C-alpha cells in the first residue's frame, strides 16, 4: 500500500489535501481487520502513538486533526507482519556484502565489545563466533550455518516447551537424517555453549533455603549459611555433583545494556526522548513527568549525555503452575529502559530479566538478599559507568545508568523498599505518625491510605 501520503500529515494544509484524506481512509479500511472485542484499534496519531485504542471513526479524526507518526512505516500494530529494518554500520564490510539477521547479530556482538578486549580467551570467543556464523551445517548447505541452526533450534525448544532430553533426541535424529559430514551438535549443552558467546549467558548463585544469605563472592565456598547454619546442599553425602536447596538465576545486566547500542535502529531509538520527542505538556512517556525533569536539574552531568540509560524496576511473585494448592513461587525481577519511545518501551522484547528467584516459598522481605547482586551492579554503573560502542554514532562512549522508578503492587512495595505497608503504620508517607479514625472499633486501613493521599 502506498505510504507517500503520510509525509503530508506534518502540516495542516497537507492533512486537508485529497491524497492525505484518501490515504487515511485506506489505512482505516485495512486496519478494521484487527479490531478488538470492543471494535477499537490502536491509534497511530502523534498524541496516541499506538498506546491507546480508539474506534476507527475516532482514529480517523485524530489522523486528520493531529497527523500520523512519521516513523510508523511498518503497520505491525494494524495487521502487517513485523519487519526488522536495522541500519548496520560496519566499516569493515565491503559494499557487496549482505548480512542476514544472524550475521548482523554476530557483527553487532563483535563491534560492541570494549576496545580493551584483547585477552586470549575473548579473542578465541570472537574467532569461534565468526567461524560458526560462516561454517555450513553440512556440505553444500546454503541456508543454514551452525550458528543460525543453533538459534533456530533453541527457539523451537523454548516455544514448544521441549525438554532437554527431547531436544537431545531431536539432535541425534538430525545427525542421522542429514548428509554425511554434517556438523549438527550432539547435545543441549553444546548448543548453549555457542549461544553463550553471544552475550546471552546467566549465572547460577546458590542461596540459603531460608532466604537469609547468598553463597556468593566471599561466601562462595561455604557449605553452611552463616546466619542459621542451614546446609547449602540437599544431600552432602553424595560423591558427585551436589544439588543446592535454592538457586538464584542472575542475568548479567551490562551485556544486555550493551546490546541496545549494538543495533543502529535501537541505538537511534535510545535517543528518541532527545531527538524526536514533542514537548506539548501532554503526559505520554516518563520523560514528560516532573520527576524526570527534576532529576535532570539535580544531576546535570548525567543528563548531559543523552545516551545514559534511565531504568525502572518491576517485580512480583506468581505460581507458575496456576494451582494455588501447589506450594511454589517464582519471582522475576525485570528492568525497563525508559530511553525508548512510547511504542517500544513497554514491549516484551525490551524487558530485561535481571534475576529469577525460584523456590517453594516467596522471599517476602528477604528479597533484599537477592537484590544485592543487582544493587551492586547498578551502583557501579551509576558511579563509574561502562565503556560501550554506539553503532548509530560510530564511537565508544562511557554509559552510566540510573534507576528512577520501581513498579509493583502495594505489598510488593513493602517487600522491595522495606517500608511498612500493613497494619496501623501502613502509610509510608506518614510513617510513625499516621492520622487515622476507628470505625466500629476496627481500624480501616483504606481510610488511612486515602486520608494520607
The secondary structure of 247-292 as a DSSP string is EEEEE-HHHHHHHHTTSHHHHHHTTHHHHT---SS--SSGGGSHHH
Residue 331 per-residue DSSP state: E
Residues 92, 94, 97, 103: what is their CA dihedral angle, to the nearest 10 degrees? Answer: 0
**202 has which bridge partners?**
251
Which candidate, 57, 67, 38, 41, places its Cα nearest to that of 278? 67
Phi, psi of 109 (to 5 degrees): -65, -45
Look over the chain and give the mean of its residue pLDDT values, rounded to a whole number. 80
Neighbours of 354 (CB within 10 A): 26
pLDDT in tens, 110-143: 555 554 544 445 455 556 666 777 788 888 888 8
Mean pLDDT of 12-31: 90
For residue 375, give every residue at least 6 positions away whose Cβ sits within 8 Å of its Cβ, in sequence order, or none.
none
The whole model's pTM is what? 0.65
Q: For residue 103, name the pLDDT band (cuts at 50, 70, 90).
A: low
Percentage of the chain lying above the pLDDT 90 cut: 20
The residues, ordered by sequence, that sit 6+ positions from 103 with a Cβ below 8 Å of its Cβ are 133
Q: Which three cell numbers stand for residue 13?
A: 494544509
Residues in a beta bridge with 387: 398
Give me 303's grid cell: 543528563
- For the chain, the first-to-last Cα distance in angstroms comes to 51
**For cell 472485542, what's the residue?**
37
Crossing angle (nearest 10°) for helices 18-31 and 56-65: 150
Cα-atom radius of gyration of the chain, to the nearest Å?
26
Interacting residues of 435 by C-beta distance below 8 A, sequence separation 6+: 448, 451, 452
Q: Do the beta carbons of residue 234 and residue 247 sit within 8 Å?
A: no
The residue-averaged pLDDT of 57-62 equals: 91
Q: What is the C-alpha separation between 250 and 332, in angstroms, rounded?
A: 10
The stretches of 32-79 forming alpha helices (DSSP H) are 56-65
Which tens digits make up the pLDDT trace of 193-252? 877 766 667 788 898 888 888 898 888 888 888 888 888 888 767 777 788 888 888 888
pLDDT digits (tens, 9 = 90+) for 346-391: 888 889 989 888 877 778 788 888 888 899 999 999 999 998 888 7
Using alpha carbons, list the distances in angstroms from residue 13 to 8, 332, 423.
8, 50, 61
Beta bridge partners of 53: 42
Q: Is the model more confident about 429 or about 368?
A: 368
DSSP helix/strand/coil, 403: strand
Closest C-alpha to 197, from 92, 123, 249, 87:
123
Confidence label for 51 from pLDDT (cuts 50, 70 and 90): confident
Residues in the chain: 453
Q: What is the three-class DSSP state of 358?
A: strand
Amino acid at each position: 500500500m502506498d505510504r507517500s501520503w503520510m509525509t503530508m500529515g506534518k502540516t495542516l494544509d497537507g492533512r486537508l489535501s485529497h491524497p492525505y484524506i484518501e490515504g487515511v481512509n485506506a489505512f482505516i479500511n485495512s486496519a478494521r481487520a484487527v479490531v478488538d472485542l470492543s471494535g477499537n484499534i490502536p491509534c497511530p496519531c502523534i498524541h496516541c502513538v499506538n498506546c491507546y485504542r480508539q474506534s476507527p471513526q475516532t482514529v480517523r479524526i485524530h489522523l486528520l486533526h493531529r497527523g500520523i507518526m512519521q516513523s510508523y512505516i511498518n503497520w505491525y500494530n494494524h495487521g502487517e507482519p513485523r519487519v526488522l529494518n536495522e541500519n548496520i554500520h560496519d566499516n569493515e564490510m565491503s559494499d557487496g556484502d549482505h548480512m542476514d539477521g544472524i550475521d548482523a547479530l554476530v557483527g553487532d556482538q563483535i563491534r560492541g565489545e570494549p576496545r580493551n578486549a584483547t585477552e586470549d580467551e575473548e579473542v578465541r570467543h570472537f574467532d569461534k563466533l565468526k567461524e560458526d556464523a560462516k561454517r555450513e551445517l553440512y556440505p553444500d548447505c546454503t541456508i543454514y550455518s551452525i550458528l543460525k541452526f543453533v538459534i533456530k533450534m533453541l527457539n523451537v525448544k523454548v516455544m514448544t516447551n521441549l525438554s532437554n532430553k527431547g531436544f537431545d533426541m531431536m539432535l541425534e535424529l538430525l545427525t542421522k537424517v542429514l548428509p554425511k559430514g554434517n556438523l549438527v551438535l550432539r547435545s543441549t549443552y553444546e548448543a548453549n555453549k555457542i549461544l553463550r558467546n553471544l552475550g546471552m549467558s546467566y549465572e547460577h548463585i546458590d542461596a540459603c533455603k531460608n532466604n537469609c544469605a547468598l553463597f556468593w563472592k566471599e561466601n562462595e565456598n561455604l557449605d553452611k549459611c552463616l546466619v542459621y547454619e542451614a546446609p547449602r546442599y540437599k544431600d552432602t553425602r553424595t560423591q558427585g555433583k551436589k544439588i543446592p536447596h535454592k538457586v538464584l538465576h542472575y542475568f548479567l545486566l551490562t551485556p544486555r545494556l550493551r546490546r541496545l547500542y549494538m543495533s543502529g535502529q535501537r541505538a537511534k531509538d535510545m535517543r528518541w526522548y532527545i531527538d524526536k520527542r514533542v514537548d506539548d505538556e501532554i503526559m505520554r512517556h516518563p520523560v514528560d513527568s516532573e520527576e524526570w525533569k527534576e532529576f535532570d536539574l539535580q544531576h546535570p552531568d548525567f543528563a548531559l549525555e543523552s545516551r545514559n540509560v534511565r531504568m525502572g524496576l518491576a517485580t512480583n511473585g506468581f505460581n507458575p503452575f496456576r494451582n494455588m494448592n501447589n506450594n511454589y513461587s517464582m519471582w522475576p525481577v525485570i528492568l525497563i529502559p525508559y530511553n525508548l519511545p512510547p511504542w517500544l518501551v513497554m514491549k516484551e522484547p525490551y524487558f530485561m530479566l535481571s534475576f529469577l528467584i525460584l523456590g517453594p516459598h516467596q522471599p517476602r522481605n528477604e528479597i533484599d538478599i537477592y537484590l544485592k547482586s543487582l544493587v551492586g551492579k547498578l551502583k557501579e554503573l551509576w558511579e563509574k559507568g561502562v565503556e560501550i560502542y554506539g553503532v548509530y554514532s560510530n564511537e565508544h562512549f562511557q554509559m552510566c545508568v540510573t534507576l528512577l522508578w520501581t513498579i509493583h503492587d502495594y505489598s510488593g512495595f513493602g517487600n522491595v523498599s522495606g517500608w511498612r505497608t500493613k497494619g496501623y503504620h501502613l502509610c509510608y508517607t506518614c510513617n510513625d505518625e499516621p492520622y487515622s479514625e476507628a470505625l466500629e472499633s476496627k481500624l480501616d486501613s483504606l481510610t488511612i491510605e486515602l486520608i494520607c493521599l
